[in-house]
Structure 1
């Protein structure tokens, strides 16, 4: 995912994230947008391509990573959400077949 796409997704999801976190001030909107954009890129790097318009599970995982980042606990995210990351990577992972391989 490129930076522009990540920033657009962050803009589109800012209000929903703030509502979920019960953040009513706009003083940290720039920081939150950066955290959301980084989270979109990071989660996509971990699981592969996805459909951000139709996958609420993916968006939830992005919000969770952003929440950890917001609370300065990012180092615990991967360990705490390892099974969710694996689940999504299995859903979106690419199957590579190579007929030249002999067993």
Structure 2
């Protein structure tokens, strides 16, 4: 499930990018697409609670905004892989913990 990009997220991104108020709809689309793409690759992170994930969403959005998306995955491969591995390990450890609670 992709939560909507809140106005607070848009304002935070605009402040970081030093943008005005005339592009909110475009920025919302860019941020939403970045969120969806990175969730597909990294796992189901919450942009409001994971600072590392939010940072990656903002970076991808910055690349999209500057028409340089083709460079994003190469330049941020380490961060993408780290989040993906962390999510996989989190899922793995929670499924192992759940196995001990099964009735025999």
SS at match of 2:83: helix
Contact 2:5 2:28 in 1 (8 A): no
- Structure 2 gaps of 5+ residues are 97-104
Would you say 1:37 and 2:37 are equivalent positions? no
- The answer to which structure, 1 or 2, has the higher relative contact order (CA under 8 A, 6+ apart) is 1
The runs of at least 4 aligned residues of structure 1 exceeding 3 Å deviation read none
**Highest CA radius of gyration, 1 or 2?**
2
In the alignment, which residue of structure 1 is the partner of 2:83?
A: 88
Across the aligned residues of Structure 1 and Structure 2, the Cα RMSD in angstroms comes to 1.6
Offset of residue 12 of structure 1: 3.7
- Aligned pairs, number: 92
Please give the TM-score of this superposition, normalised by the length of structure 2: 0.80
Offset of residue 11 of structure 1: 3.5
**C-alpha distance 78-10 of structure 1, shift in aligned 2 (>3 A):** farther
- Structure 1 gaps of 5+ residues are 98-103
Offset from partner CA, 1:13-46 (integer Å, 9 cap, x none): 10000000011x2222111110000001001000
Please give the TM-score of this superposition, normalised by the length of structure 1: 0.80
